[in-house]
Structure 1
Amino acid sequence: MSDFEKLSEVLKPYAERLNTKIWVCEKIGRRLSCIARAGEESYCESFIAYEDDKYAIFCEREITDEEKNLILQALDDIIKFRKLSTSS
């Protein structure tokens, strides 16, 4: 299983709970590299749910402030998973 698939599995429960497609992208210079995605595709406009200097998270619908906490928790889980996989 690739790292992309493993990270997408980490993201899957959050996508199901939020009932939307979620993409987590890592910023590399001026480019974005998708490192995980999960959820049902609805082929509609995507929205930036969260962005910092290193990551951007997109959803297929706008999210509430309460839901943003779930997005941040998902990002935290992905970061922890990546640290564990690089340290082993």
Structure 2
Amino acid sequence: MSDFEKLSELLKPYAERLNTKIWICEKIGRRLSCIARAGEESYCESYIAYEDDKYAVFCEREITDDEKDLIMQALSDVVRFRKLSSDS
């Protein structure tokens, strides 16, 4: 199983709780590289749920302030998993 698949599996519970598709992208220069995604595709507009210097998180609906905490937890889990994978 690739890292993309493992990270996407890690995101599934968050996508189910938020009832939306979630993408986590890493910023590489001016480009975005999708490192994980989970949830049902609804083919609607995507929204930036969170963005910093290194990552952007997209959802298929607008996220409330309460739900933003869950998005931050998902990103934290993905970043932690990637760090553990690269260290081993």
Structure 2 stretches of 5 or more lacking a match? none
CA distance, structure 2, for counterparts of residue 77 and residue 68 of structure 1: 14
The TM-score, its normalising length taken from structure 2, stands at 0.99
In structure 2, the residue matched to 1:10 is 10
Q: Does 1:68 align with 2:44?
A: no
Identical-pair percentage? 85
How many pairs does the alignment contain? 88
RMSD: 0.3
The TM-score, its normalising length taken from structure 1, stands at 0.99
Deviations 1:20-73 (A, max 9, x none): 000000000000000000000000000000000000000000000000000000
Structure 1 residue 5: deviation in Å? 0.2
